Amino acid sequence: MRWRSALVILALVSAGPACTGGGGEDMPVCSDLEAQVLVLEAQSVPSATRLPCVAELPPGWRFGGSLIKDTETTLWLDSDRAGVHALQVTMSASCDISSAVQVPPAADEVGMTVYQEPESLEPGFAGRRYLVFEGGCIIHEYAFADGTEPTLVIEADLAISTVARRDIVAQVQDSLDLTLCGAEAPPCVG
Amino acid sequence: MVGYFVATLIGVLLFEPMARLYERTDTSFLHLLAEGRNDILTEIMQAIALLSSRWVLRVLRWGTIIALIAARRWRHLFVFLGALITEEVVAYLLTLVIHRPRPLGVEILAPWQGFSMPSRPMASLAVTLVGMAYSLIPHGRYRDAAKWAIAGVLVGVGIARLYLGVEAASACVFGGVLGVAIGLTAFRWFTPNDVFPVTYKKGKAAHLDVGGMRGEAIVTAVRDQLGYRVLDIKPVGLAGSGGSTPLRLKVRSEDGGPERQLFAKLYAQNHVRADRWYKIGRTILYGALEDETPFGTVRRFVEYEDYALRLMYDLELPVPTPYGIVEITPEREYMIVMEFFDDAVEIGEAEVDDGVIEQGLRLVREMWDEGLAHRDIKPANLMVRDGQLKLIDVFFVQVRPSPWRQAVDLANMMMVLALRSDAPRVYEHAVGMFSPDEIAEAFAATRGVASPTQLRSMMKEDGRDLLEEFRALAPDRDEVRIQRWSLRRVGLTVTALLAALVALGLIVTNWAVFA
């Protein structure tokens, strides 16, 4: 029985951190349209025509984790300067932009309406950026550690981009000959 | 069980190369179900699917945990917790390995989170229900019925989840199979029914079931090895015995002699393990009070008791006549057989007159003189028959013990005798065989763990402070310290603390499993 106990303890100890670290699904990489995590994102908000993904992680930033469920998708990034969970990106069907102001979209935000809502500069930068598009909304929530330069927002925004849902729909159609129903695809059955 | 794991392995290995086939087959089936949806059926299916919701699982899991704590069924509790954590971790990691999205082409009508294969809600529900069945329901008819009920619930919830389009059929089956496999494996490995039966009768976990195949094996072994035909096997004195399964055997010799009763103690590997943990616990709590070296095998275990019994019998101490060792399963289960004291009663229920007091004290005196200590003098181990005192259970006997250990035997014997009489009377007899200084030393050395649990609880029930009464009668003597420190004790204590911290850490980091 000793080896059994040792095996179980080893399994638990080695598996324990798996539950605590980061968490959630794979990292959605914008250039990897075959990634199943993008299909899952598309299923989480079927009306959304754009899906958040990681374009390029600047030095000092890393993918923290994600939580994809039936009403929204959440990704977060950690930074060696701005801290853990410095940027959280949430996609949902709609969002409240009543206290935000419209700003011009960035190069990779063409076709979307962009709003910003700065909350504080001191002691740590905090604020929100809303990307509103047909069928959905993506919120970038910044929560930097105390004393962090607000200019890190530029790095954070470089890390996150979006892909078109129609590209994922086409990818599923090509690879499985099946329909990823929802926006820009035939309606779902049922 | 092997089948379950083979199915799991096949599921993992074949999914990637056969993803297209899985998806197309599953999607066709889900389309059929989705096309047949209507409002009433959808509401019914959503209600059924609630059985796999986090809230229902929380209620079931916490209910089971509380029930197991209330029943003080610690081993089942830890196995239940371990199975839950293992299932949650394994199912979660598998979803990340397989990374299968939700079903394609159908509207999903139930909440979901993360990748779909294996179905985590199905796995969670399955392991919870299996754990409940194996930790709360006694083996037999009721558990068999529960297994069918669990199968029914899992099939029902699975169909509901398919109807709602939240998972594909293969993911649903995979989740259910995984949960059942982990639950079954955990409980069959760590709480085998014949060793750790779920029972609501009073008794101790160490007691083995002596019915069924084990009962038959005992009958055969006693006939072949001792030459007696076993007519009846009956567990006796379970309440006073935690380290073995005591039995009364009704036998008749093969040559047709009269019926007689024999006493037997059945030992298995779990008794060796229990003894090992007991000794580690004693070392951590009190240091090396005495020889705490554990036995390596059950064979050594039973050989030692047989040796001790024969030694005391040869010295004409009032112990049962030894009949020998019976091998039930080589290296796994043995039974020591000895005389059964017919019509004897435990000293706690017997009349203790001057004769019995005298015999008890003389017994200790003789053990002192022969260089022995019994180490477990308590009411359950002292029997009285026709005014004659008998000593049983010699498993803890030590040859050439320390003076401290011998002193403790004396104090424990005097307290047992005083429980059915009074301290001055016992003391008066004792000074006839021991010097006042020896008695004073005995009571200076005896406190707390030095007395068996049964004796301590009977003294508590009695209400009289017998220990202080004896101390008042004997000459003044400083207490003998029983705490002993050693590197081994420090090492064991640190290891135990670290193990407790790891266990606590696992529970805290996996709190989502329960909360």
Number of other CB atoms surrounding residue B462 within 10 Å:
13
Asked whether residue A10 carries a pLDDT value surpassing 50, the answer given is: no
Give the list of residues 6+ apart from residue B171 with CB closer than 8 angstroms, or none.
Answer: B26, B100, B116, B117, B118, B119
Give the CA distances from residue B325 to residues B107, B168, B226, B291, B299, in Å, rounded to whole numbers and listed in that order. Answer: 70, 59, 9, 24, 10
Q: Contact A189/B34, CB-based, under 8 Å?
A: yes
CB A112 within 8 A of CB A133: yes
Chain B residues in contact with A177 (beta carbon < 8 A): 20, 24
Q: What tokens were used for B144?
A: 């068999």
Residues B377-423 have pLDDT tens digits of 999 899 999 999 999 989 889 999 888 889 999 999 999 999 999 99
- Axis crossing angle, helix B169-190 with helix B141-163, rounded to the nearest 10: 160
- 3-class SS of residue A152: helix
Q: What is the mean pLDDT of chain B?
A: 88
H-helix or E-strand containing B399? strand B398-399
How many angstroms away from the CA of B267 is the closest CA of chain A?
Answer: 16
- Cβ-Cβ pairs closer than 8 A, A with B, add up to 106
Q: Is the pLDDT of residue A87 over 60?
A: yes
Higher pLDDT, A3 or B387: B387
User: Mutation test of the interface with chain A: which of B108, B498, B511, choosing the one with the most A Cβ atoms within 10 A?
Assistant: B108
Mean pLDDT confidence for B347-373: 93
CB distance from B108 to chain A under 8 Å? Answer: yes
Q: Which two tokens stand for residue A86?
A: 């410095």
Is pLDDT of A21 > 70?
no
Residue of A nearest to B90 (CA): A15
Q: What is the CA radius of gyration of chain B?
A: 30
pLDDT at B13: 72
The stretch B246-270 carries a mean pLDDT of 87
- The Cα B150–Cα B91 span in angstroms is 19
- The answer to whether B18 faces chain A, any CB pair under 8 Å, is no
Assess whether pLDDT exceeds 80 at residue B457. yes
Q: What is the pLDDT of residues B85-106, one digit of tens each?
A: 899 989 998 998 888 999 999 9
Q: What is the ipTM of this complex?
A: 0.85
- B263 Cα to chain A: minimum distance (Å): 30
Q: What is the pLDDT of residues B35-59, one digit of tens each?
A: 999 999 999 999 999 999 999 999 9
Average confidence (pLDDT) over A183-190: 86
Give the residue with greater pLDDT, A153 vs A9: A153
Which tokens is B472 given?
A: 């008042």
pLDDT for the residue A45: 96
Is 70 exceeded by the pLDDT of residue B204?
Answer: no
Q: Give the model's pLDDT for residue B243.
A: 64
* Residue B196: per-residue pLDDT: 77
pLDDT of residue B446: 84
Q: What is the pLDDT of residues A34-81, one digit of tens each?
A: 999 999 999 999 999 999 999 989 999 999 999 999 999 999 999 999
Tokens of B510: 């996996």
* DSSP for residue B347: G
Give the tens place of pLDDT for each residue, B110-152. Answer: 999 999 999 999 999 999 999 999 999 998 899 999 999 999 9
Of the two residues B160 and B238, the one the predictor is more confident about is B160
User: How large is the angle between the packed helices B298-314 and B269-286, nearest 10 degrees?
Assistant: 80
Q: Does the distance separating the beta carbons of A189 and B106 come in below 8 Å? A: yes
- What percent of chain A has pLDDT above 90? 62
What number is the average pLDDT over the span A94-112? 90
Instruction: Please give the pLDDT value at position B354.
Output: 92
Where residue B236 falls among pLDDT bands split at 50, 70, 90?
A: confident
